[in-house]
Amino acid sequence: MKRYLVIFEGRIQGVGFRAWCQRFAVQYNCTGKVRNMSNGMVELQIQGEPEKIKIVLSKIKEGNMFIHVDEMHTKEIALQMDEKRFGVDYY
């Protein structure tokens, strides 16, 4: 089990990016959260089996006709053992 902090840059706000992240995280049984940042980037915290996280991040980075990821910065962080789901912060 691993947990990562991932910062995304690109065309990622106002295009359904947080829901896109949640879709794949839930599909691959990962927990965590995603939120928009005031500087136009998006912060993702994702926890799960390393091979599943790798798949989720790959699918997120692929984007779609609206979402375009230019940069993805990843850092391993401490596990949240009490976390049960993947959430989206809307603020």
DSSP lists the bridge partners of residue 3 as 47
Quick one: angle between helices 50-62 and 17-27, nearest 10?
150
pTM of the model: 0.93
Catalytic position from the list 3, 11, 35, 36: 36
Residue in 3, 11, 18, 85 annotated catalytic: 18
Rounded to whole angstroms, the Cα distance separating 30 from 48 reads 5
Whether 29 is catalytic: no
For residue 91, the model assigns a pLDDT of 66
- Identify the domain containing residue 12 by its residue range: 2-89
18 as an active site residue: the answer is yes
Residues of the chain with pLDDT under 70: 91
The CATH number for 82's domain is 3.30.70.100
Q: How many domains does the chain have?
A: 1
Residue 9: which of 74, 63, 73, 71 has the closest Cα? 71
The pLDDT, as a whole number, for residue 26 is 98
